[in-house]
Amino acid sequence: MEARFNFMQAAPGAYGAMLGLEKYLRECGLEQRLLYLITLRASQVNGCAFCLDMHWKILRASGETEQRMYSLDGWRECPYYTERERAALAWTEAVTLVARDHVPDAVYAEVRARFSEKEICDLTLAVVTINAWNRLMIAARTVPGTYQAESAKAAH
């Protein structure tokens, strides 16, 4: 695969705006490991090779178990995820695939039972942000494999 363009160099203002979203999300109060899980799950749904490579590495560096990472695509059938994580993963998929079902009420009820209104807003912003990254990386055909994850200590 050959990269098409480098949006970080061609549009540094847009790249800076995306980094601003990332900064907000790091400080919003949601658990970092939960944010890492949903970014990997959205990247799986979207098939973003660059983001898959990046988020696997970030999860591993943060201390996530191999079992939970390898099973993420089948999270509904696995006992490794908390009810809060399950609600967040369902929300992630519904928001990522918004054109399919327009985020069903049942999924909202599930997430509302486990997250405050602010947390739902932050969770939604996290999903929107990773979807934007996925679309940018896929459109640019950013070549995967070069990302180096921070150490677990530095990632928190």
Condensed to tens digits (0 to 9), the pLDDT of residues 114-128 reads 999 999 999 999 999
Residue 42, classified by CB atoms within 10 Å of its CB into exposed (0-12), middle (13-18) or buried (19+), is: buried
pLDDT at 151: 53
- State pLDDT tens for residues 86-145: 999 999 999 999 999 999 999 999 999 999 999 999 999 999 999 999 999 999 998 887
Handedness of CA 6, 93, 35, 144 (dihedral sign): negative
Domain-by-domain residue ranges, the chain? 30-144
The average pLDDT across 47-71 equals 94
Is the CATH number of domain 30-144 1.20.1290.10? yes
